[in-house]
Chains A and B, each alone.
Chain A
Amino acid sequence: MTATQQPMAQRFVGESVKRSEDKRILTGTGNYVDDVQLPGMLHAAFLRSPFAHAHITSIDVSAARQVEGVVAVHDGASMQGLLAETAQPPGIFGPAPVKFTLLASDKVRLVGDPVAVVVATSRYIAEDALQLIDVEYDELPPIATVEHALDESRPAIFEDLGSNVVTGPRTNTHGDVDGAFARADRIVTANIKVHRHQNVPMECRGVVADFDTDSQTLTIHGSNQGVGIAKMVLTGQLGMPPDTIRVLCGDIGGSFGLKIGTGREEIATAALSKAIGRPVKWIEDRNEHLAFSGQAREETLDVEAAVTNEGDILGLKVSMIVDTGAYPGMGAMLGGMVENMMPGPYSLEGLEFTFRAVTTNKATYVAYRGPWASETFCRERIVDMVAKELGMEPLEVRRRNIAFQGDNPGKMVTGRTLKSATARESLEKIAELVDLPSFRKRQAEARQQGKHLGIGMATYIEAAPGPRADGGGGLGNEAMRMRLDDDGIVRVFTAQMPHGQSHETTLAQIAAEEFGVPMEMVKVVVGDSDQVPFGFTGGSRSATMAGGAALVNARALREKVLEETANQLEAAVEDLEIVDGKVGVRGVPAKAKALAEIATTATAAGTALEVSQAFDGGQGGWSGGTHCAIVEVDVETGLVDIERYIVVEDCGKLINPAVVDGQVRGGVAQGIGAVLLEKSAYDPDSGQFLAGTFMDYLLPTTTEVPRIETHHLETVPLDPDVNFRGVGEGGMVVSPATLCNAIEDALSPFAVKIEEQHLPPLRILELIGALDD
């Protein structure tokens, strides 16, 4: 044993440590935003447009003001007066590039657009008052589809934009596209359509804004993925100095990317509290949520694949158009993300990528778990189409095209190194688990009996956080503070804002192990803009960035504490050890001091036992994997049953295996939902929203999601210290392609080419021609 080694450090990383969150989650003692009840608190409700596109010609709130219990009513114009003069129309990550008022005042741009707000002593009364607000609308031709958006005879949703094309067309070329297409034996084409669907966390959006008139300070109880972001937005919108706003988030009932931004209603509620001088609560209801909170994924990709007769995919030409909805969100940013990831782990020689984004009268395009996912869907569907055309197994086409590793890892034609990508390994593991030849036999026999089984697989890589480029740079920084407090507790102040990811447990696992104390002596502090550094949860960054920050800070804090202890005990640092929350000289356990005592003594002497190191991602690395599904399609009803679903994934070292499995399975369930059940449907003529309740927007339940087998490769350490990589989004990124590949395989006797992602029973019967007579 060397002088600096500690005896039998307790191992937490890699164990499915029980969650600290569960003590309150399982007992109903969590603190979600709707649980916040403050003295004198009022309730807000928003009046929303029933039309997709219309001018507001008049609005009369006078009758609403008369209702007993109503404290305030504002329309779009008067709400603007409550905001700072310098307030800009809010976009998703900063000011929006077009002009609009916080509540719609001159025109409404989608069904659900808020036009007025009532504040009353109860939500019940507020909703009563809404019905007394008189609004006159002058309907405009709706922009209900991409075709409408491209039709220059239709009016622009934003006059200052001039048209409904937000971006593009712009084309980028990577590698040797002309060469790839010249050498091709054939071109395989497809028009891939991903449908509009959405995050739908079980908790809708909401906020309690509490403005204190005496101190002129605002406390926000929110449900957001980053308290610092919410604070930043509100300082700008309300014109209040940053040190007068505090944002608190307690427990959050899911988000999947939705709650990264601060909604217009949340800003309005804060402004109302400031104007009234009382706390105001706004809780979004499910109808508002489905219609307005945000939607994603409505993308169409026209693809040409340059292919050899042996199955090499030499190059791709892709033309993508995204329907970003009304009001700026992240839709316009999608092009770059999808383009950069399009090659995936394949050795493509050339990629030409054209991108356009249009605005329509639909809910704003928001980040939804793996926003770039259409690149995987598109690519993995093309691989299967190529295989089909060439009469090859899709597995073989994948084997042929996945870039090699070894000493000279490939590079994506869009520039990023494929170093650490284990797509080939995960593919081979799936092949091992599935026994393709015997499935094909069973499939053939089943077809004789009129049963239609199918198998599909899909592979992906994900920049969670992605490998550091040769020459460094590119992973960003994660801030964190860590402190040994006088009570002997190690407090971890993280910018992460967990909403199901179990950070309070996983970050404590890392910190406890590295510092050398039991888990109970570590507390992860989240959700207070007065206490935590700036940052957010998103992009599957927390495992690497926050996990790494926890590791380096715990190490630094341990050093600092041991140095302080060495001073206090007049011992040598090398002779000290931390065991069971006490620190002392090795071999003299009776004289060991509680960490609380060391801390208290240090504080009295003016020494803070605190560290604050940003982590830059280390060497980073790819996450990724391969999924495989076996399905049965009932060709008389169009219903799909998933017989088996297997995941092989690689996110490096697992911090908490049970947490990882939960993330993977939850993502796959959302993919099942996307393909079989979920659609944010709009009427293509009127722009009327058709999926405003859970009877029309269908989420998968226990009878639609099978057991999902998970296998973890935990490979390729790149970094000496931090090899945790993100896993939150992968399941959702690759599962739709996996399922669509399987369904198309099941339907091969019908010679169906599936180019879309949404395959409800009606669609399947249409595709196989069962409804033709």
Chain B
Amino acid sequence: MKPPAFDYIAAGSLDEALTALAEGGEDAKVLAGGQSLIPLLSLRLAYPSLLVDVNRVDELSTIERTNGTLRIGSMVRHRTAERSKVIADAVPLITAVMPYIGHVAIRSRGTIGGSIAHADPAAELPAVALALDATINVRSAARGERSIAAADFFDGYFTTTIEPDEIVTSIDFPVAAPGTGVAVEEVARRHGDFAMVGAVAAVGPDGTARIALINVAEKPVRATEAEAAFATGASVDDVAAAATRDLDPSGDLHASPAYRKKVAGVCVKRALAKAREGAAK
């Protein structure tokens, strides 16, 4: 299982990366952590003409909290994020999902930006970005910087609204209000596996909830009806029902559509219970 041939450039700066990407054309791809891309290459499921390696672009690795926003550079490694007190303080939901992302060695290389740009609906960070109304900042050589709201970013299986010549530079998350409780509830075959189905939840001190679902559709799903039900004080079962009522998940080797639909509700229930508990502290 050896990768096919490709051209390669190790960019030393963001500008260098953007130029190379633009010149590389449609089949040029960004190489970030490589934990999702390199297996695809080894399995010969992807044939990029050029890999633009951004691992040495230091300007993409910063974590900055300014007023009510936490900006995480796209090349911040999962392991760095996992250990970051700044993140734990500002956006505790990110810290909460980190242990579920693969395993330690994957997190050594994998990146926050890479995970979000890869847009696997079974991954945790896209759901977190959606739940928290994050903003994804991207840049191209030709058009400069623009920002995309998470709700407009995820477009389908492994598909986003990024243009082929754009690179994700950072993601902005709103800083959580003090007294916010967060929770992740996912059901996976084994620890560290992609979730068969899951929910992330943040319950604010004002009694409102933000809920997003993992692996129930071709992209992460914001459970807006469930959030509305939660805000009016509906029972946990009713909130869960609202979250799953309109779901039409697909099936695979591990879970059927009926399983996903049913257990998504269980995940919402359990996540809300945990998040509420955390908020009450």
Contact = CB atoms under 8 A, between A and B. Distances in A.
Are A and B in contact, CB atoms below 8 Å, in the complex? yes
Interface of A: 123-124, 127-128, 131, 285-287, 636-639, 677, 681, 690-691, 693, 695-696, 698, 700-701, 703-704, 760-762, 765, 770-771
30 contacts: A124-B3, A127-B44, A128-B4, A131-B44, A285-B1, A286-B1, A287-B1, A638-B263, A691-B253, A695-B193, A695-B194, A696-B253, A698-B190, A700-B190, A701-B190, A701-B192, A703-B191, A703-B192, A704-B190, A760-B189, A760-B254, A761-B187, A761-B189, A761-B196, A761-B263, A762-B254, A762-B256, A765-B263, A771-B256, A771-B259
B258 interface: yes
Contacts of B262: 765, 770-771
A636 B237 CA distance: 13
B43 A287 contact: yes
A696 B187 CA distance: 16
Interface residues of B, number: 24
B281 interface: no
A696 B189 CA distance: 10
B103 to A, nearest CB: 9
A124 B3 CA distance: 7
B2 interface: yes
Contacts of A765: 259, 262-263
Given A127-B44, A286-B1, A761-B196, A639 B256 contact: no
Nearest to A285: B1
Contacts of B5: 128
A234 B247 CA distance: 58
Contacts of B196: 761
Nearest to A762: B259
Interface of B: 1-5, 43-44, 187, 189-194, 196, 253-256, 258-259, 262-263, 266
Contacts of B254: 696, 760, 762
A703 B190 contact: yes
Nearest to B186: A637
Contacts of A698: 189-190, 193
A637 B190 contact: no
A761 B259 contact: yes
Nearest to A122: B2
A639 B193 contact: no
Nearest to A681: B253
Contacts of B187: 637, 639, 761
A762 B196 CA distance: 10
Contacts of B263: 636-638, 761, 765
Given A128-B5, A286-B1, A287-B1, A771 B258 contact: yes
A637 B266 contact: yes
Contacts of A286: 1
Contacts of B3: 124
Nearest to B1: A285
Contact of A127 (B2, B189, B194): B2
Contacts of B191: 701, 703-704
A698 B194 CA distance: 12
A130 B189 CA distance: 35
Contacts of B44: 127, 131
A704 B43 CA distance: 27
A636 B270 CA distance: 11
Nearest to A690: B253
Nearest to A696: B253
Contacts of A691: 253
A331 B15 CA distance: 62
A661 to B, nearest CB: 24
A551 to B, nearest CB: 43
Contacts of B189: 677, 698, 760-761
A124 B1 CA distance: 8
Contacts of B253: 681, 690-691, 696
A572 B266 CA distance: 83
Contacts of B43: 287, 693
Contacts of A638: 259, 263
A128 B3 CA distance: 9
Given A696-B254, A761-B255, 11 more contacts: A123-B2, A128-B4, A286-B1, A287-B43, A677-B190, A700-B190, A703-B191, A703-B192, A765-B259, A771-B258, A771-B262
Contacts of B259: 638, 761-762, 765, 771
A761 B191 CA distance: 14
Give the one of B5, B192, B254 with max A CB within 10 A: B254
Contacts of B194: 695
A681 B254 CA distance: 11
Contacts of A761: 187, 189, 196, 255, 259, 263
A762 B190 contact: no
Nearest to A698: B189
